[in-house]
Structures are given as structure tokens and as C-alpha cells.
Structure 1
Amino acid sequence: MSSLYPDESYCTSDIGRILYQLKTDWSCSSTVTSISEEKHLTGSHTVYTVEIECNPVASHLVANDVSRRTFVLSTRYKEMTKLHAAISKLHKQLYLRGTFPVFPPGKLIGSSDPSVIQERRHAIEACLNFVFDSEVLRKSRLLHEFVEKAKEKTYTAHEITGNEVFYDNSSSILDQPNTNSSDSDSPNHAALLEPTHEQVSPTC
């Protein structure tokens, strides 16, 4: 299989279809929002929670009131190291511009030290943001396979404000009424906006 998806039909997730678009259509960035330790029978490992924010920037998307979308996934540094190695190799093979971010080497001892964890946190953000800023690498098959596990972050729908639409997490986004209908102007929709837990967004 090719290292790059030849067209959008190969994308199997909402975030994948967004990433396949030009960065001048959708601007994407990543932030490690939390770090936790997960224990198991053979020991423990560090889990990094990554939030990927996708903002519509093309004029036709803004004109149609397309909302910002946010996706969340959890990963280990081990997984990120594999992704980094593969995509940095692809970057070199394709003679793409820019210097691919360097990843700190793995450690057998001291991997749970706060300084090491923070260094890895910044490395994860730098790697993903570099890829998201590349029109070519955004189409990488390995990147799309990596983000497939991401869940879309949604909010309780109490109010429609400006261009942002927040949906009730009690049902699928696809089941919500069209916000352009007259019902969306009903006073019953106005209330205090309160964020709630993450929810899986339906994918194709």
C-alpha cells in the first residue's frame, strides 16, 4: 500500500477526512492536555492524552458556519516513537521542506522522571504539529491509522452562540436537528453552556 492516501475515499474517520483537506481549509494543532500513569501486572507506563483541534479557515467553510471540531486520543511514548520514526523517514524520502523534529531517545531507567515526561510531552506536540502543518504528511497512511482511535469531544447542548454549535451528549451528532430550521430559534434552546465528557463521534 502507498505511504500516502491517493484520495479522500481512503479515509475511514472524520478526523482523517479533515486532515486530508488542505491546511488552508482546515487548520489543525495538537496539545497534550494530561499525563497519567497506567498500572498493569508487569509494571506501569505513562499515558499521554492528546487533544487535536481542527479549525475551519477557508472562506466557504466560515461562510457556511462550519464549527470547530476537537478530537482526543491517548497514546504511549512507545507508540509515538514508532510514528515519529516512520513519518520522519517518509519526510526525508520525499525531500520535503523543513527539519523534522527530533525525538528524545528511549530510557530503560528514569522514564517516569518529571523532567523526562515533560521533554516527551513537548516532543509529541512538536512532532504532530509539524505533520499537521505539512500538506503532504497530512495524507500519510500511518498518520491516518494513528488518529483513527481519536474520539470527538462534544458538549452539552444548552445554547447556540455565534458560529459554535454544542450538542447534547445523550445522542449521536448525526441525530441532532438541523440548526438552520426555525426550531433552532426557540427560547427553549437558550441556557447556560456547560462542557461535559468526551463522546465517540460516528465514523464512516
Structure 2
Amino acid sequence: MGKEEALPGRPGPDGPVAAIVVMGVAGCGKTVVGEVIAARLGWHFIEGDRLHPPENIAHMSSGRPLTDALREGWLDAIGASIAETLAGGHGAVAACSALKRKYRDRLRTFQPDILFVHLSIDRETAWQRVSSRKHHFMPASLVESQFAALEPPQDDEDAISLDGSEPVDSLAEQAVIQSYQRA
């Protein structure tokens, strides 16, 4: 391949941003949309919930929202996973609530070139989705705390907001298109 080209799984000079973080409150569809985006781009998918330490899982399982201090190590684990994936020559898509600006800023310290895809849903939809989940550590009683903490991305952030009630394929397609337009 003479000239450097953007290949699936490898962000290049004409390819998409280096990483995408699908963010939003519990139940917005971060995991399912993130998996589809990663599959379309041929990138690695990072499930943020799997990187929670046992202390965080126990905290949430007991119906208590995470504090900023409890989130720090978890955000660092996600950021490190993104950086390791990129260092291995692959693009990364991560599912992470990233509810506050300072959480997104913390992830950017590991990789500044992140497109945040905010899946926006209303409280009732979030509550219904979280209530219907099987085998997940986060109870529906914490949905309100997610909305209380949410600071939607601002205009100065590399982020897009999408209606999380749209079909998964449509959301993934919009995110992929935006990732190329921001390159």
C-alpha cells in the first residue's frame, strides 16, 4: 500500500477519530450501540462495566450511587484500556457513562482524540430499560442519580448527542459518519 491509508481497525490520516466513547445514563444503550459501532469500524470494543472494581459493584448493587472518588480508578482503567488498544494499532470504542465533564476530561488525558457519543433518553425510558435488565449489578433505583449527575457534552467538546430511542443501527451509523467527519 504505497500511501498510508485508513483501514478498519486502524485510524489513519484520512480515517475516523482514534477512539469513540458511547456515553449516557444507565439504560441508554451504550453497550449495544458501542458493539455495533465497533463491529462496523472493525475496532475493539471495551465494556466499561466490566472494568468496575468489586468495591464499585458492591456499592451500586446495594443501591448507592458512585461518588466521584469511586469513579476515578474506574475511569483510569477505561482510559488505560483505550490507550493500550490504540498502542496496539487498533481503534477503540468504549461504553462508559462519562456523565460529567470532568470524567470526560479524565478520559481525554489518556487519549485526546476521542469522539463522545451521548445517547440521550428520558427518565421513564431509562427506568424501564434498567428495570428489565437481567443479571446486572445496577438497580433501577439508581437511575435518578444518573440524571442528577449528568452534564451533557458542551459545544466546545468533541461530542455528538443522539436520541437514544432511535434504532440501534441508525445510532451506530450516525456515530460512524460523525467519526469520519471529525477526522
TM-score under structure 1 normalisation? 0.26
Which is helix-richer, 1 or 2? 2
Q: Which entry has the higher C-alpha Rg, 1 or 2? A: 1
TM-score under structure 2 normalisation? 0.28
Say which structure, 1 or 2, has more relative contact order (CA 8 Å, 6+ apart): 2
Which is strand-richer, 1 or 2? 1
